[in-house]
């Protein structure tokens, strides 16, 4: 599947920005001495992402034209995919925070909110004037987030009063806007928009993590948090359908993340095998190194066909893609470390960080086990 000339132009433009800007800023993001959000804003402006919220296809005018132009629509779809891949080749944590703000918060509000909510909350987030986060997981409710949810929202006149705790929330320590899921009086799960600074809403310090250190993660606490009834997303949404569609989108993004990691790690390992010598010859001449490279390439080729598929993606396919490509990302990264040997274990060779980042793809957005169960249930339904 060779990219077209137009696709290569988009890929090269994105890769140039990530190589020149994101690569240089990554050490500071990883150490926590700088936050990634200013660079995200510059990326949106530099790459002309406009109001598309990181879709890589321009603003609303371009999207309107794409509705009547299949070729343009396909190019925009490729751009959205490639933007995530290019970010993840360099810094998956940066992509994680970017996607949580524009996708899980921004796209949900833009797609399901009232006109007032879209203008007030989605617009500023899509332009990166504000940062959003998506608050679903709880300390005792991860894979079973809906059924075991303890966060409650009760109606009190023209307001809702929310109490509970959310955890593992991407962007939580620095977010301006929060999309909080809670069980309402009738037992349904509803989504509420809250703003930083509201009495009763606090966040934790950033968690210390194995990987994805460029992406601030934390907890969100609601203690009798009052939000206007107008901040009930869309005036009330279907709980399971709404959350499941959000999770499906997240899983597609995580599959792209796994692919970007695997692609970069394979390239580093292949170059190292060609240029690093042992016993007077490149290590790529040794058959066991060749075997490892060959298997890495096969896995990467299969993953590429999944993430660049032009077929519509169902919930079933989103879970299958996340399951397979997530495992490929981790395995190829670990294989790259093995080929680089002691150097692969060092920070300066990049694969060490990418391997740590890759593991989250198998955990976040539903663990490997949950993907398997969901796939089986869909097949047997």
User: Which one of 126, 149, 183 terminates a domain?
Assistant: 126
Question: What's the pLDDT score for residue 56?
Answer: 42
Which residues neighbour 351 within 8 Å (Cβ) at sequence distance 6 or greater?
265, 268, 269, 333, 336, 337, 340, 344
More confident site: 141 or 363: 363
Per the structure, the complete domain to which residue 74 belongs is given by 5-126
Choose the final residue of a domain: 237, 263, 281.
237
Could you tell me which residue, 62 or 37, shows the higher pLDDT?
37
Q: Are 317 and 204 within one domain?
A: no
pLDDT band at residue 62 using 50, 70 and 90 as cut-offs: low
- Residue range 151-168: mean pLDDT, rounded: 97
Q: How confident is the model at residue 239 (pLDDT cuts 50, 70, 90)?
A: low
Task: Give the model's pLDDT for residue 246.
Answer: 84
What is the rounded distance in angstroms from the CA atom of residue 11 to the CA atom of residue 235?
40
Catalytically annotated residue among 30, 138, 250, 352 = 250
pLDDT of residue 240: 56
Count Cβ atoms below 10 Å from residue 1 Cβ, excluding itself: 8
Check residue 50 and give its pLDDT. 63
pLDDT of residue 236: 77
pLDDT tens for 72-129 read 888 999 999 999 999 999 999 999 999 999 999 999 999 999 999 999 999 999 999 9
Same domain, 27 and 121: yes
Number of H helices and E strands in the chain, helices first, is 14, 9
Q: What is the CATH number for 120? A: 1.10.540.10
Co-location of 286 and 299 in the same domain: yes
pLDDT at 174 over 90: yes
Q: How far is CA 116 from CA 82, 153, 230, 235, in A?
A: 32, 22, 9, 11
- Please confirm, yes or no, whether 250 is among the known catalytic residues: yes
| CATH code for the domain of 292 | 1.20.140.10
**Residue 48 shares a structural domain with residue 138:** no
Total domains in the chain come to: 3
Is residue 357 over pLDDT 60? yes
Across the range 315-320, mean pLDDT stands at: 94
Q: Looking at the structure, do residues 275 and 212 belong to the same domain, yes or no?
A: no
Q: Select from 126, 152, 172 the last residue of a domain.
A: 126
- 55 pLDDT above the threshold of 70: no
For residues 246 and 344, membership in a common domain is answered with yes
Q: What integer best gives the mean pLDDT of the chain?
A: 92
Mean pLDDT comparison of 46-55, 138-147, 200-209, highest-scoring range: 200-209
Assess whether 334 and 353 both reside in one domain: yes
Q: What is the pLDDT of residue 312?
A: 73
Domain match, 17 and 93 both: yes
pLDDT band at 3 (very low <50, low <70, confident <90, very high): confident
Same domain, yes or no, for 205 and 288? no
- State residue 170's pLDDT score: 98
Residues 269, 196 share a domain? no
Indicate if 144 and 37 belong to the same structural domain: no
Quick one: 77 and 146 in the same domain?
Answer: no
Distance CA(246)–CA(251), nearest Å, equals: 9
């Amino acid at each position: 599947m060779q990219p077209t000339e137009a696709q290569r132009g988009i890929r090269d433009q994105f890769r140039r920005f990530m190589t020149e800007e994101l690569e240089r800023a990554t050490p500071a993001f990883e150490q926590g001495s700088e936050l990634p959000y200013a660079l995200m804003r510059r990326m949106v402006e530099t790459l002309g992402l406009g109001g598309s919220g990181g879709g890589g296809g321009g603003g609303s005018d371009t999207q309107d034209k794409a509705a009547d132009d299949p070729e343009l629509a396909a190019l925009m779809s490729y751009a959205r995919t490639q933007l995530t891949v290019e970010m993840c080749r360099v810094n998956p944590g940066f992509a994680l925070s970017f996607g949580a703000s524009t996708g899980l918060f921004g796209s949900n509000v833009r797609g399901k909110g009232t006109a007032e909510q879209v203008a007030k909350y989605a617009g500023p987030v899509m332009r990166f004037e504000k940062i959003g986060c998506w608050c679903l997981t709880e300390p005792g409710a991860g894979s079973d987030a809906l059924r075991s949810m303890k966060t409650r929202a009760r109606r009190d006149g023209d307001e809702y009063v929310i109490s509970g705790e959310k955890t593992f929330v991407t962007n939580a320590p620095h977010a301006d806007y929060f999309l909080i899921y809670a069980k309402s009086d009738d037992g349904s799960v509803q989504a509420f928009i809250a703003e930083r600074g509201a009495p009763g809403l606090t966040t934790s310090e950033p968690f210390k993590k194995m990987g994805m250190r460029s992406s601030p993660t934390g907890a969100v606490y609601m203690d009798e948090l009052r939000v206007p009834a107008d901040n009930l997303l869309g005036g009330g949404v279907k709980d399971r359908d709404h959350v499941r569609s959000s999770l499906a989108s997240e899983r597609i993004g995580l599959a792209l993340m796994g692919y970007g990691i695997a692609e970069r790690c394979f390239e580093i390992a292949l170059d190292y095998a060609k240029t690093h010598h042992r016993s007077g010859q490149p290590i790529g001449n040794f058959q066991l190194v060749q075997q490892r490279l060959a298997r890495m390439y096969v896995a990467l080729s299969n993953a590429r066909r999944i993430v660049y598929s032009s077929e519509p993606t169902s919930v079933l396919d989103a879970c299958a893609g996340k399951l397979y490509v997530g495992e490929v990302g981790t395995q190829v990264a670990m294989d790259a470390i093995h080929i680089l040997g002691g150097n692969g274990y060092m920070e300066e060779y990049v694969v060490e960080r990418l391997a740590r980042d890759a593991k989250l793809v198998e955990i976040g957005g539903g663990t490997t086990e949950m993907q398997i169960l969901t796939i089986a249930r869909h097949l047997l339904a």
